[in-house]
Amino acid sequence: MTEQKIDVLAFGAHPDDIELGAGGTLAGLSRQGKSIGLVDLTAGEMGTRGNVNIRAEEAQKAATILGASLRLNLGWPDGFFEHNTNHLTQVITLLRRYRPDLVILNAPNDRHPDHGRASKIVSDAIFYAGLRKFETKGLEAWRPRAQYHYVQFYTLEPSILVDVSQDFTTKMESIRAHASQFYDPHSKEPETVIASKSFFDSIEGRALDLGKLIGVRYAEAFVCPRTPGVSDLTQLL
């Protein structure tokens, strides 16, 4: 296995997590010339709507919309994956192979148990990936410079807000690519919380509310395990 540098690597427990939480931020980074990769831990096979094949097609379509260089699925069991050495090693291997400077990952605490568990696994892997004595064949130790947890169903106090006004349309297009999962008045499948019209409308509503806090149209929120800093305060204007 050889190294392949990617600037930003985003992880999600399920195939639509990344788009919902950080689609605007990732679209903006891609537009600015940064390389981005997406990693889904499960195929979302426990979801009420759609199936594995449909969701895989939707995920690849969404990745293209966001301008991602790659999208991988680790095939962990949806709803039942564990925090263990095997799963940690898989994530560590990806981090060392793609050597991202920034990792974006699930919320540390959320309505779906998978989200917090995925967050913990990836966060721990980020630390262990920097330990030289943890061996992964042919790959050197690597620890990303920063990690940011996107906010999901629960409202969490953000550590940082990102202006996604220019890329919000792209975010919504990437979410709509997951057509089996979200509101469709013509769908014959059972309605779920995220497939309701109110949930879909709330995506824009939350982005508008967050945008107001920093004086922009739309924003996305992230939680940081350590306090972010800048060398020039004017960067925050």
In tens, the pLDDT along 14-42 reads: 999 999 999 999 999 999 999 999 999 99
In tens, the pLDDT along 53-103 reads: 999 999 999 999 999 999 999 999 999 999 999 999 999 999 999 999 999
Name the E strands within 126-184.
146-150, 160-163
Residue 187 sits at φ, ψ, to 5 deg, of -70, 145
pLDDT band at 209 (very low <50, low <70, confident <90, very high): very high
**pLDDT value, residue 237:** 67
Domains and CATH numbers, the chain: 8-225 (3.40.50.10320)
Q: Phi-psi bin for 75: left (phi > 0), alpha (psi -120 to 50), beta?
A: left
Token pair recorded at residue 192: 């779920």
- The reported pTM is 0.96
